[in-house]
Amino acid sequence: MNTPSLGIQQFDVIPLSTDTVMLSTASTQWATDICQDIPDGDSQWQTFLRALAVAGAQQWLDAAGLVSTYPKNIAPDSEVNLTVGDYRLCVLPMGGLSDDTVRISAAAVGEQAAHLYVLVDVQEEVDQVRVVTGLRHDQLRQLLPDSTAQGYDIPLERFTVTPEQLLLYLNCLDSETILQPTVPDHIGEMVETIATGVVNAGKWLQGELDTIAEQLAWELLPPLTPAQGFRPVKAEIEDIIEELASQDIAIPQRARGAFKEINMAGFPCRLYAWVWPLMTGDIPEWSLFLILGPTPGETLPLGIELTVSDQQEQLSRSALTQETAVTYVYAQVIGYWQEQFMVAIGLPNGPTINLPPFRFEAP
């Protein structure tokens, strides 16, 4: 296998190694302050636990590279109290796991329903929370009675979504899919397929995306033409292409590409990928060319890395450093048809996103 050295400097998603986080001093202080104006003692305590749960869930999501938000000037209620991109989350605190049911308010199921209901075990005495399990909206709808109520008591055993699956949903699945009625386990099977599937980049040459690429929200780029070159692709990468050309690096016009939006610990990025077949020898090969850049108006964080590996070893690694004048990283690898390449994007001492492998099947 031939592996060009193009580093600038020498979904399945990696879940956190633990679902438990230590609450920061800022989180515990916020939870204490936000409930002080609540006169009723029991309501104040429940709000305090809910605030700790929301703050802890946010720390857990942030550590996984997901940007979450909630209004810090308002005490969190039992409705939607945390957002991640287009996802609405209802974080439910648990003082312990002895209760057989979980109370979900009607407001969290209504017009602005939560996509995910997340149970968090709050251990306030040691400033610690643990993300325990979750329930999808489509699963909840199957459990609700036809008549409306002020709230619903859902059996704890019905919460079956693991913390790792929660991260997969938030990273890989369109939020509106979870709001649609569906056959049981269909969405779970869809996300598991993403986690274990392979992107067939060979279909790009036919102007098509396979199922995995579609579910991961890849978008095809227009084909290159002799007259226009890269002009119709994306205006924001013209400078990148010019920089590559100055280094005598060219992408052939027969190549087809796609791109995907990626949020890396709060930094919006775009990953561009082009593929094309190679027939230089007796055994057909293919090339995968990757460019990781910022979305328009943004910048990549220093230290961000783009790595490509095969089944045995790392083949390419490029990182953005202070010594480089460019604002992107890129890599190229060449392999035989059917050979798979794993692509990862990571930050030093931070989260890493591993994409499902790329494979080239004959178009």
Q: Which residue has the higher pLDDT, 41 or 26?
A: 26
For 129-185, what is each residue's pLDDT tens digit? 999 999 999 899 888 876 567 788 898 889 989 888 898 888 878 888 888 776 656
Please state whether the predicted TM-score (pTM) of the whole model is above 0.85: no
Q: Is 136 helix (H, G, I), strand (E, B) or coil?
A: strand
What per-residue confidence (pLDDT) applies to 118?
96
Residue 16: which pLDDT band, with cuts at 50, 70 and 90?
Answer: very low
User: Of 166-170, 205-209, 281-285, where does the model show the most confidence?
Assistant: 205-209
What per-residue confidence (pLDDT) applies to 7?
31
- In angstroms, rounded to a whole number, what is the distance separating the alpha carbons of residues 199 and 202? 9
What per-residue confidence (pLDDT) applies to 236?
62
Other C-beta atoms closer than 10 Å to the C-beta of 328 total 23
Name the least confident of 115-129, 181-195, 224-238, 303-317.
224-238
- In angstroms, rounded to a whole number, what is the distance separating the alpha carbons of residues 80 and 87? 10
Residue 168, token pair as written in the block = 């997969």
- In angstroms, rounded to a whole number, what is the distance separating the alpha carbons of residues 305 and 267? 13
Q: Domain limits of the chain? A: 20-193, 197-359
What per-residue confidence (pLDDT) applies to 78?
85
Identify whether the C-beta of residue 338 lies closer than 8 Å to the C-beta of residue 198.
no
Closest CA to 293 of 274, 309, 270: 270
